Amino acid sequence: MSLPEDARHLMHDEYTLAESAAMNIRMALSNKEGLSHPEVAVILGSGLGAFADSLHDAVVIPYGEIPHFPRSTAVGHAGRLVIGKLGGLTVAAMQGRVHQYEGYTARESAFPVRVLARLGVRRLVLTNAAGGINPAYGQGALVLLSDHINLQCANPLSGANDERLGPRFPGMSEAYDARFRRIAQQAAAAMGYDLKEGVYAALAGPSYETPAEIRFLRTIGADLVGMSTVPEVIVARHMGLRVLALSCVTNMAAGLGEGELCHEEVLATTERVRSTFLALLTAVLPRIAAEQD
C-alpha cells in the first residue's frame, strides 16, 4: 500500500524541520569557541531548570528563537536552550519542555529531541517531577527510571515513518541504558545517596490522578507517575540515542499522602532537593559522555 500524499509531506517535513532548527542553533553557536558539538543533552523538568545556570561560557537561546520549536507554557519551565561547558564537556540543556496537556501532540512534544539528535547529540538525560507510587520512596527522593508504561494514549511515532530518522518499529526493551544506570548508581553511592530505580507511568494530564487510578497504576507495576518524558524517550530510541532518566518524587501520588496535590508543592520539593539533584547530574554527565558505545 502506498502512503497518501499528505503523509509523505509530513514525513519529509519532520526531518527537514529538525535539520533547519539544528542549523539555526549551529549558527548561534558558530562564534563561540568549543560549543558547536554538544556531547550530551539534558532535558530539565518542572522546577529542575537551575542545572543549566551552572554551565559556563553558555549560549542561551529562547525556544521562541529556534524555528519550529514548541514553546513551553507551564510554570517552572523557562523555555530556553542553554549550551555551555561543564568542565571540559559541552552540554546542551533544555530548561523546560512541552507536554501533551499544553495542547501539543506527542510528536510535537518530542520534536526537540529530534533537533538535539540532528545537532549531533547521542546521549540524552531526561529529568522530571513525578508522583511517588512505590511506598519505598519518600517525598523528595530522586529515582532512576528502569522502564516506562505509556498511558498517554498517543505515540510520537504514529503516522508515516521516515527511515532517515529511524526504523518503523523501534524496540523499547532496553530504552533506559543499563550501563548509564550503573554509572548513575555509582555516582550516587559515592555521594552517600541511596538512588532507587522504578517504572514510570506517563499519563496525559493535566489533572492529577484519582486515588483509584493510582491503585490501578500500582497494580500494573508502576512506581512513579508523571505527564512527560515518555514521548521523548521513544523518539530518542527511534534515533538510536542512549538514554538516562531521573525523576524527582515531588509528592506522594494521589491517595497516598495528605490532602490535595498541587503544582506549588511540586515546585517546592524540587527547590528543596536542588543541591542533591545538581550534584548528581554534575557527577553523572561527564561519566556517561566518556562511556564507550
Q: Cα separation of 231 and 236, whole Å?
A: 9
Q: Which residue has the cell 527537514?
A: 16
Told to check if 109 binds ligand HPA by CB under 6 A, we report no
Measured from the CB atom, the residue of 160 and 267 that comes closer to ligand HPA is 267
Please pick, among 14, 39, 102, 108, the residue that the annotation labels catalytic: 102
Least Å distance, CB 78 to ligand HPA, is 18
Told to check if 246 binds ligand HPA by CB under 6 A, we report no
Pairing of strands 196-203, 89-95: unpaired
Measured from the CB atom, the residue of 90 and 152 that comes closer to ligand HPA is 152
Q: How many residues does the chain have?
A: 293
Q: Which of 100, 104, 105, 112 is nearest to 17 (CA)?
A: 112
Pairing of strands 242-252, 142-151: antiparallel
Told to check if 253 binds ligand HPA by CB under 6 A, we report yes
Q: Which residue has the cell 529515582?
A: 143
Q: Which of these segments, 85-93, 123-131, 140-148, 163-171, binds ligand HPA (CB under 6 A)?
A: 123-131
Site for ligand HPA in 161-220 (CB under 6 A): 208-209
Measured from the CB atom, the residue of 90 and 270 that comes closer to ligand HPA is 270
Told to judge if 77 belongs to the known catalytic residues of this protein, a careful annotator would answer yes
Please pick, among 28, 36, 101, 193, the residue that the annotation labels catalytic: 101
Least Å distance, CB 128 to ligand HPA, is 7
Told to check if 76 binds ligand HPA by CB under 6 A, we report no
Told to check if 250 binds ligand HPA by CB under 6 A, we report yes
> Taking CB positions, which residue lies at the least distance from ligand HPA?
131
Measured from the CB atom, the residue of 125 and 261 that comes closer to ligand HPA is 261
CA distances from 23 to 26, 28, 30, 33, 166 (A): 5, 9, 10, 17, 20
Three-state DSSP state, 62: strand
Contact 86, 54 (CB under 8 A): yes
Told to judge if 102 belongs to the known catalytic residues of this protein, a careful annotator would answer yes
Read off φ and ψ for residue 127, nearest 5 degrees.
-130, 155
Q: Which of 7, 245, 208 is nearest to 113 (CA)?
A: 245
Told to judge if 129 belongs to the known catalytic residues of this protein, a careful annotator would answer yes
Told to judge if 46 belongs to the known catalytic residues of this protein, a careful annotator would answer yes
Least Å distance, CB 96 to ligand HPA, is 14
Told to check if 69 binds ligand HPA by CB under 6 A, we report no
Binding residue for ligand HPA, selected from 22, 261, 285, 288, defined by CB under 6 A: 261
Q: Cα separation of 23 and 63, whole Å?
A: 14
C-alpha cell at 52: 543549566
C-alpha cell at 109: 512534544
Least Å distance, CB 224 to ligand HPA, is 9
Contact 96, 80 (CB under 8 A): yes
Dmax (CA) of the chain? 57
Q: Which residues bind ligand HPA (CB under 6 A)?
A: 129-131, 208-209, 225-227, 250-251, 253, 261, 266
Active site residues: 46, 77, 99, 101-102, 129, 227-228, 251, 263
